[in-house]
Structure 1
Amino acid sequence: MSDEEVARSAAPTATGGSPARGLHEPPERDMTDGGPDMVQFLAADGTRVPLTDVNSPYAAYLDELDEEAMRGMLRDLILVRRVDSEGFALQRQGELGLWPSLLGQEAAQVGPGRAMRPQDYAFPGYREHGVAWCKGVPPENLLGMFRGVNHGGWDSNENNFHLYTIVIGNQMLHAVGYAMGVQRDGDVATGDPERDTAVMAFTGDGGTSQGDYNEALVFAAVANAPVVFYVQNNHWAISEPNDRQFRVPPYRRADGFGFPGVRVDGNDVLASYAVSRAALERARGGEGPTLIEAFTYRMGAHTTSDDPTKYRISAEVDIWKKKDPIDRMRTYLLAEGIVDQAWLDGVEAEADELARRIRQACQTMPNPPHEEMFEHVYADAHPLVAREAAEFAAYQAGFED
């Protein structure tokens, strides 16, 4: 049986053989197939894909990667997954209020994260832990946000990585506004690689249904803004599958806004890197926006408050596990002699130490003073906020120590 036949046959059924109510019936086609337009360099089994008309325009970017850079990408994938698994475990142990897992999407984030230059600015949603890692944001700061002891905990301008955006799609407008500011500062198409700047805006496939997302694409197109829209199509917007979200794939929708769209294998870190490099260079050169659809899969729950067994079947997840982004990069680098088992063991030891570090940091984070909730609400002093702060302070003072 084919993979899709296995998935369909594994679907729970109600009386009479019809799919159980409330569960998504897998589509007739193989949902792991990104189609002939998808840019790919590493197949699911870790072998190199031959050059084609689709991937050859991006091949030159991989030729620039030396062995150290490729080892660095695999290291990133492994360490980012460990950060994610610790975040999940800490939430389950009551140390975090919530955790949105990126399990399965590591390559879709490390690729663009490594493609950006230091001056390029990233606008994430709330699942971009891999991009945060590549931009130098300490993972402890991410945990602090989900522990509720800070409002993000990092200086956005220090890493050129905006605070997480919980409102779905809102960051796309922020990114376009920033990109239009970059234009007005004259930091586009100067020919100076340390000055020319691009912006990347990250969202999921569910975000493409939001008004903010579509408005952002309109503004970016007419302004020719130096922005790359990066849609991680992980096939599920919480409990809604792709076939209940759109009829046209995200990358093809770029045509309607008047700029290029491209679909890339989001489980292939090399392809994600190369396509992102091309789009970023196009933006920095003054050629305007690009929409990238990273074709990937969310292997875990939407967040730790979600139960994916209520709307999808385990056979579907099992199919995607065969396309795991870390397994494929590890297999490729082992076969090429770029890494060996000793190197992999060293990274695993580094991952263990990272896990210990962030776990200890999370469990020992001090609670912020109560009065901090009234600070930085407005840029200037505000009489209503000041009155509420005074009332709250008086209320707190009424308790015994």
Structure 2
Amino acid sequence: MNQTILFTPVGGTDPISLNNYHDGSILHICRFYKPDKVILYMSKEMLDFQEKDDRYRYCLDRLAKMQDRPMIYEIIERRELTKVHEFDYFYEDFRKVISHIYETMDDSDTLLLNVSSGTPAMKSGLLVLQTLGEFPAKVIQVATPVGKLNEQVHEGYDVETLWELDEDNQEGAQNRCKEIQCPTLSKIKKEEIIKKHILVYDYQAALDVADSLPAEQTVQYRDLIYQAARRVLLDFVNVDKTIQKTNFQCLPVRYSSQRKYFEYALTIDIRLKRGEYVDFIRSITPIVVDLFEMILKKQCGIIVDDYCDQYKRAGQWKRMWSAKKLNGTEVGKVLNSHYQKMEKRFEAKDVYSEHLKILTDHFSSDTRLKQLMEDLRNVESNIRNLAAHEIVSVTDETIKNLTGFYGRDIMSKIKELFGYTEISIRKGYWDSYDEMNRKILEQMSNE
């Protein structure tokens, strides 16, 4: 219907102030917002005035005629209402009345609420309803022409004379209306929940809550949360797209061939910070294999792919050691010799961290590097299978008892191993998720 509807209590300075000859709040809102319908909520005292001289409808009729437009009125009578200071009454009654108004509206209609007319209890009742966020509306406040409280004078009220004297009827009269933004209790609560999810790196949960709010309320920060949610999933295609929108570069390692390893390591760190120890342990093996391989290349000049064949499994390309490519090479001799000493046979199958460690032990002279690789290899073998194949509680103490290291110690070794690869990482890079969180929270504060 595309209608504008004004719901308003009627106050002591409506429709025109006898004290200063200016519009009261109701008339002033109608003057500048031009509602199609005005719903007047009247206590016993205001009904008495209305029945005495029809002052409210008289002034609204004169305004409608002046503006050459139709305007209809509805009066909600509360003749029994004499205790106009009781907040509880108005909150409950306004809730019922406005709920009924909404039943008559469609999505194209606009509701205006006047919070400048009526008693303090009436104004508070409307503001609390808006804070609860049940009924979307424009909340209008009207400043007094003198910049301070109006005095209410009723003796000798001549509505026809006051209309002629009303200074707001003059061309160029000042618009004293102001739309006030009432952050709803629901919005405040949801944004606090969003912040808590962000601080524990649960970006998908934060995004789900953000998407339950109107889009215009999250425009400052929603894309940043989405960017974080895709980042933690290592979805670099969508991360790169969102960076173009947010203009916030969250990835400290930019080269596509390197960033996946570093970003994966950051997700391991997040699992540790969140106390997700089972997922933390399960996620160690892939990064250990990748780190060992990069280290073997950087420190020893050995490229593992040179000794492997490719094969397809479940629609994905995999690799395995190639007996043919290893034959006659130093790499093949080292691997075969190691297993022969243990009275075992080296099988040219999938590439495991154990194989890469054997090669590094042989070709590198760096004792610190060897110790780090030994520690992480032991962690992987001692606890990974337990977490992967058994229903078991894994805590930080469990990790310490089985490996000799707490989770933070393991993560520290992973970080140190990166220093042996060709990926250039500054110390501050490891805090990039916290930096991203600060950016999101800053944008939420800047709404």
How would you bin the TM-score normalised by the shorter chain? under 0.3
Name which structure has the greater RCO, CA cutoff 8 Å, separation 6+: 1
Using the size of structure 2 for normalisation, the TM-score is 0.22
Output the TM-score relative to the length of structure 1.
0.24
More helix by share: 2
* Greater C-alpha Rg: 2
